[in-house]
Structure 1
């Protein structure tokens, strides 16, 4: 990642509940040595105070296009020329619409029109607002104008709904900023080449749950959201890998630069993995694959009989995808996951030996704040020679740390 020391970043905060995340973003940028100045719209000040942003940035907050003190030196033009990068976070639906159509009646829109610095928008809004036709048209216009669009994520929202529209976390925005300023990254991207820790490597990974049909209506499954696997796919692609993601049923956006293969059952996933295995350098089995499936799948919906108090379903073992890959001649570097509810490290070590793999990532899914369906995770990485603990963090950051670890293991 590029150094952010002495970089000049103008952060524009528009109206939205996600504005509460911006002080943390400013703090992280300051820790990296970035000079940060903040602009707030009237709507933003309804959610967070200028005093808070002034305290964390160390600079006065700008909020008025016609500030008499600043206008003596054409303050808005000075700010527009000062910035190396302008980041609008959160970028509300209204903010995107006003920028897409060239408004220049407040400090926010005027700055974005009067600058020759790149402008990155970090959307944050209700899922229906994000998917609305008008918002998507405005998104297209902004992209045509060369604006960078970072996000949004999917997940729980302040309104109580779940879906696309959640603003990236501060650490994710920081990473996007670092990528932007990385001269090596930019040059390679312009040349259509890969750069990073896994440049030239091919990575095959699985993510999400599987569904094992009982009848045309019902199935056996688990609580995996796929977020950890998708984060790993994104992190590997960011580091220059050619990534193929075999995904069980999950409502997540495919990471940029990743080839996605959708499957349903464990047998489907096994077939897709084996079909894509040739030439892979790394295999990461992150999916929560069902160990068993119903022996017989009813052709019609199974009906409850009168006075029936119980039902028995015979199960048969599913193929072991991770072991199948590890047993191949010339197998890739294999990484497994162990989602446990007790004796986490002991069970993980046993699985590492049984599967014949190089690295296993274990986590305790009994904890409510990490693991399945959470935005965060905490894991233990175990190899034959070392054990590393990764404390609770966003799944994006955990993924970045794990990809760095896998890269270093490949070189030993």
Structure 2
């Protein structure tokens, strides 16, 4: 009787471990998927900013816009429209899931306010900087912006006294090396001022996203990820459209400029099709990233999401270069190598890569025991 009970107990333990392992692997799959979708989002948003009235603004017919408006105001407007569309998708999702009332109730809670702060950092600041960098330097800035996990690890040590061991320090060094490797390709044959500024602004995006990760980590741990995403996207959309864009408009000559451009952009059908798609992809990538983090851990989830350092340039090349027939979206082989090295560095920061092999061996043993 004892032998039967022991056998049943061992089988229950093995089943529980296998269930935990499957949950962990699903989290990794979601986080990897979020990285892929983030890369596709980058390409779709950039494509939207070449269609309709945007083609005139960035083309020969600049509608009398100043250099400042073209470089900064339009980028802020593009990011604002994307985040507004993303907020719309997130609200529709909350309504469909019956969580809209929960969304309203959670906004004014401590975790909700923390996510709002994170959204203000990651949306208007990081998101707009990312779009500006892409417009100035092309897809070369995508892997550089992926330095955010390394920055988050450093800020976590400074702000929250979190662990920063030798393995994580090595991973940060690898990421920094990869960023220099990628950045160096932008200066071959003579560096343009636009490229240099774009790379610098991409670093600002990485800093802001790294800080957002530190701030949001605490808030998202105490709230339903689906509600947290809704709070983030709505906050980002409102802040971008009604705060940041008017500020840039004033700097460009008057708030009326930003209003006129926003009306033209929202009524440009060919562009809005792509913005609606990019907004949906933005919502999906953050949703799957948050869900993946909750299942496999924020560190590994962020590392898997960091694969957009490769998928971003890839989809830009396929959608803008191959499908759109636009020049300037191909990257040299050194940049692709740097993107892969960046992914390895991000993985090393989040965990010991050898742990994946150990986990695989444990799964084999569980299968044999079953």
Task: Give the TM bin, normalised by the shorter chain.
Answer: under 0.3
Normalising by structure 1, what TM-score? 0.21
Structure with greater proportional helix content: 2
TM-score (norm: length of structure 2)? 0.23
Structure showing greater relative contact order (alpha-carbon pairs closer than 8 Å, 6 or more residues apart):
2
Which has the larger Rg? 1
